[in-house]
């Protein structure tokens, strides 16, 4: 893992970068600055002390000449400057009380008179004054020390000044700073490498746990994960494995229970349906009894449809749902379903409007019985949840090599936050309509087995639009 990848990372990596690497870097920068500043202060202080000592001793030496006249004194200064032994590393200057350069170890024409404040301070305060900064004439960084020369009558007749360039010392300080920064970078590299290894040991199993947890939440119950770690991460993985196994076991028990219950209900429902039809065929029934028998027959039929949905659901859960694919006149199947269901809706005061068109739709490879089941279930849902609009529109078209069925109601629609969930099994949302909540889940599975799609959305102007897309054989 390189540093650029870590910088772009988020989550735990980002927090580690800020909390660990950031703190180490900040402390390292402080240490580098402290080391550099200490080194600079130490060596500048030593340089200044050395130059002040030179200035003091040289001034004391020249105090022997203060009884000479000015010309003799200045000639002594020139002679001393010419014979100055350390002229290659440091310059010795004699400056009169007018601030003019009288003599220099660099020669009689060493340059213009210096203008740094230490000269005037030494003359004003009769003491040694240092200067560290840029030379006003050359712009070069220098260190200078000025010591006053006092005549026998107490008059300050000039300044003895030592001056030297600091570029060698500055270069050495820069070298120390560079070495300290290099050490900091090496430490940071070690921290990043060791930290990235540690993070990988955490993030890799966490990523696997997250991926398996998503699969479990998506319905892949029973999925197990492996981790070589015998720590908190391993304990978390074992806990999720146990949870996955228990969920899979519960799902299996639930599916078996629903399947057994559905099979057990089919026999009495078949009997109820048969006897209700037999009794309704009797012309001697009075009106009240006949109405009661119609209610019994209707509710028994509705219960039978629920049982069939439950059976399909259990087949879908354990992979036993199969299709009998054959070339099918999908328009004919859809129109038959619409006309058959339309008469039933008319009794409930709901108008089912079929939007016919002359478009040619080729035969679609599908299971006609299963597709009728899908159409009926969607129409039934439209009547249940959108029946308040008293109107349903249905159409079929051929678009992009697909048969496209659209069924729209004019009811209240679906809350936006529930749209992604309505096709999930047993989900009923905020609807108060009776039902098992598995009809759309079964329909979605059937359509997907055909290689198609089933989508739900809120239609412009209100209501819900369901779109079923089935690809043709091409």
Confirm if 120 and 146 have CB atoms less than 8 A apart. Answer: no
Using only C-alpha atoms, the chain has a radius of gyration, in whole angstroms, of 49
Length of the chain: 474
CB within 8 A of 178, min separation 6: which ones?
none
| Beta bridge pairs of residue 158 | 96, 149
pLDDT digits (tens, 9 = 90+) for 206-216: 777 777 777 77
- For 455, phi then psi, to 5°, come to -125, 150
pLDDT computed for residue 455 by the predictor: 92
Rounded Cα distance between 121 and 35, Å, is 32
| Token pair listed for 282 | 């009797």
Look up tokens 């130490």; give the residue: 42
Give the model confidence (pLDDT) of 344-357 as tens digits: 888 888 899 999 88
Segments forming the whole domain that contains residue 409: 326-471
Question: Is residue 425 domain-shared with residue 377, that is, in the same domain?
Answer: yes
Residue 185 lies in a domain: no
* Secondary structure class of 473 (helix, strand, coil): coil
Predicted confidence band at 103 (pLDDT cuts at 50, 70, 90)?
confident
User: Are residues 385 and 409 in contact, defined by beta-carbon separation less than 8 angstroms?
Assistant: yes
Q: Residue 222 domain-assigned?
A: no
325 exposure class (CB count in 10 Å sphere: 0-12, 13-18, 19+): middle
Counting residues of the chain whose pLDDT is more than 70, the rounded percentage is 87
Give domain status of residue 177, yes or no: no
Domain finish residue from 262, 289, 317: 317
397 burial level (CB within 10 Å; 0-12, 13-18, 19+): middle
Angle in degrees, CA 437, 432, 460, rounded to 5 = 85
Which percentage of the chain shows pLDDT scores above 90? 29
* pLDDT the model gives residue 5: 45
Q: Average pLDDT, stretch 238-250?
A: 78
Total domains in the fold of the chain:
3
The predicted-structure confidence for 53-64, as pLDDT tens digits, reads as follows 999 998 888 776
Q: Does residue 341 sit within a domain?
A: yes
Q: Tell me: do 130 and 275 sit in the same domain.
A: no
DSSP 8-state symbol, 49 = H
| 256 and 124 fall within a common domain | no
Higher-pLDDT residue of 127, 429: 127
Residue 241 CA to residue 225 CA, distance in Å, equals: 7
User: Is 146 inside any structural domain?
Assistant: yes
Considering the chain, what is the average pLDDT of its residues?
82
Q: How far apart are CA 241 and CA 235, in angstroms?
A: 10
Least confident of 14-28, 200-214, 306-320, 389-403: 306-320
Are 31 and 110 within one domain? Answer: yes
Asked if 239 and 94 sit in the same domain, the reply is no
pLDDT of res. 470: 94
Q: Where is 28: in which H helix or E strand?
A: helix 22-62
Write the pLDDT tens digit of every residue in 311-361: 776 766 666 678 889 999 999 999 998 998 888 888 888 899 999 888 889
Predicted pLDDT at 6: 43
Q: What is the CATH number of the domain that holds 50?
A: 3.30.450.20
CATH number at residue 282: 1.10.287.130
* Contact indicator for 219, 230 with CB cutoff of 8 Å: no
Indicate if 286 and 342 belong to the same structural domain: no
**Contact call for residues 3 and 192 (beta carbons, < 8 A):** yes
What torsion, rounded to 10 degrees, do the Cα atoms 348, 354, 355, 358 define? Answer: -170
DSSP state of 17: I
Residues 24 and 156 in one domain: yes
Question: What is the pLDDT, as a whole number, of residue 307?
Answer: 75
Domain assignment of residue 87, yes or no: yes
C-alpha angle with apex 314: 248 to 422, nearest 5 degrees?
A: 85
Contact call for residues 162 and 55 (beta carbons, < 8 A): yes
> Is 277 part of any domain?
yes
Q: Do 16 and 160 fall into the same domain?
A: yes
Question: Who's near 74: CB < 8 A, 6+ residues apart?
Answer: 94, 96, 102, 103
3-class secondary-structure state, position 413: coil
Q: How far apart are CA 358 and CA 458, in angstroms?
A: 27
The answer to whether residue 102 sits within a structural domain is yes
Does 18 share its domain with 157?
Answer: yes
Same domain, 41 and 167: yes
375 and 307 assigned to the same domain: no
CA distances from 165 to 80, 141, 219 (A): 21, 6, 79
Last residue of a domain, one of 317, 334, 362: 317
Q: Copy the structure tokens of residue 337.
A: 């379903």
Query: Which one of 253, 288, 317 terminates a domain?
Result: 317
- Cα(435)–Cα(313) distance, rounded to whole angstroms? 14
Q: DSSP string spanning 160-224? A: EEEEEE-HHHHHHHHHHHHHHHHHHHHHHHHHHHHHHHHHHHHHHHHHHHHHHHHHHHTT-TT--
Most confident of 11-25, 102-116, 141-155: 141-155
Q: What mean pLDDT do residues 5-25 have?
A: 68
Helix axis angle, 22-62 to 70-82, nearest 10°: 130
- Indicate the SS3 state at residue 340: helix
Are 297 and 411 members of one domain?
A: no
| Span 265-276, pLDDT tens digits | 777 878 887 888
- Which of 171-175, 307-311, 433-437 is predicted most confidently? 171-175
């Amino acid at each position: 893992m390189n540093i650029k990848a870590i910088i772009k990372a988020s989550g735990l990596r980002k927090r580690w970068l800020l909390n660990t690497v950031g703190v180490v870097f900040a402390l390292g920068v402080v240490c580098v600055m402290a080391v550099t500043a200490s080194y600079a202060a130490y060596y500048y202080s030593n340089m200044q002390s050395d130059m002040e000592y030179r200035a003091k001793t040289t001034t004391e030496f020249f105090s022997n000449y203060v009884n000479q006249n000015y010309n003799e004194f200045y000639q002594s200064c020139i002679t001393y400057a010419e014979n100055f032994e350390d002229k290659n590393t440091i310059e010795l200057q004699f400056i009169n009380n007018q601030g003019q350069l009288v003599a220099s170890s660099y020669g009689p024409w060493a340059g213009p008179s210096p203008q740094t404040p230490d000269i005037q301070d030494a003359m004003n305060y009769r003491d040694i004054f240092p200067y560290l900064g840029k030379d006003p004439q050359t712009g070069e960084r220098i260190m200078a020390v000025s010591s006053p020369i006092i005549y026998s009558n107490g008059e300050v007749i000039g300044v003895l000044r030592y001056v030297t360039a600091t570029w060698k010392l500055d270069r050495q300080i820069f070298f120390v700073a560079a070495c300290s920064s290099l050490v900091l970078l090496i430490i940071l590299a070690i921290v990043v490498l060791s930290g990235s290894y540690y993070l990988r040991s955490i993030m890799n199993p966490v990523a696997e746990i997250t991926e398996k947890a998503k699969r479990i939440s998506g319905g892949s119950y029973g999925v197990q994960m492996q981790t070589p770690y015998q720590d908190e991460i391993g304990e978390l993985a074992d806990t999720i494995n146990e949870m996955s196994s228990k969920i899979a076991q519960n799902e299996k028990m639930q599916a078996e229970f629903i399947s057994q219950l559905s099979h057990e209900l089919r026999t009495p429902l078949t009997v109820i349906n048969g006897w209700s039809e037999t009794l309704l065929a009797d012309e001697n029934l009075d009106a009240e009894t006949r109405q009661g028998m119609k209610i019994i027959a209707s509710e028994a039929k509705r219960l039978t449809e629920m049982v069939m949905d439950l059976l399909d659901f259990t087949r879908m859960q354990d992979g036993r749902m199969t299709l009998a694919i054959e070339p099918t006149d999908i328009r004919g199947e859809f129109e038959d379903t619409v006309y058959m269901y339309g008469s039933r809706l008319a009794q409930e005061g709901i108008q089912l409007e079929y939007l016919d068109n002359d478009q040619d739709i080729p035969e679609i490879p599908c299971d006609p019985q299963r597709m009728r089941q899908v159409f009926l279930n969607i129409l039934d849902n439209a009547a249940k949840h959108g029946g308040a609009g008293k109107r349903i529109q249905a159409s079929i078209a051929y678009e992009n090599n697909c048969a496209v069925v659209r069924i729209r109601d004019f009811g209240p629609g679906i809350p936006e936050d529930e749209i992604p969930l309505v096709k999930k099994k047993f989900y009923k949302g905020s609807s108060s309509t009776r039902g098992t909540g598995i009809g759309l889940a079964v329909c979605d599975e059937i359509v997907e087995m055909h290689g198609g799609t089933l989508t739900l959305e809120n239609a412009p102007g209100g209501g819900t639009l369901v779109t079923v897309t089935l690809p043709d054989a091409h």
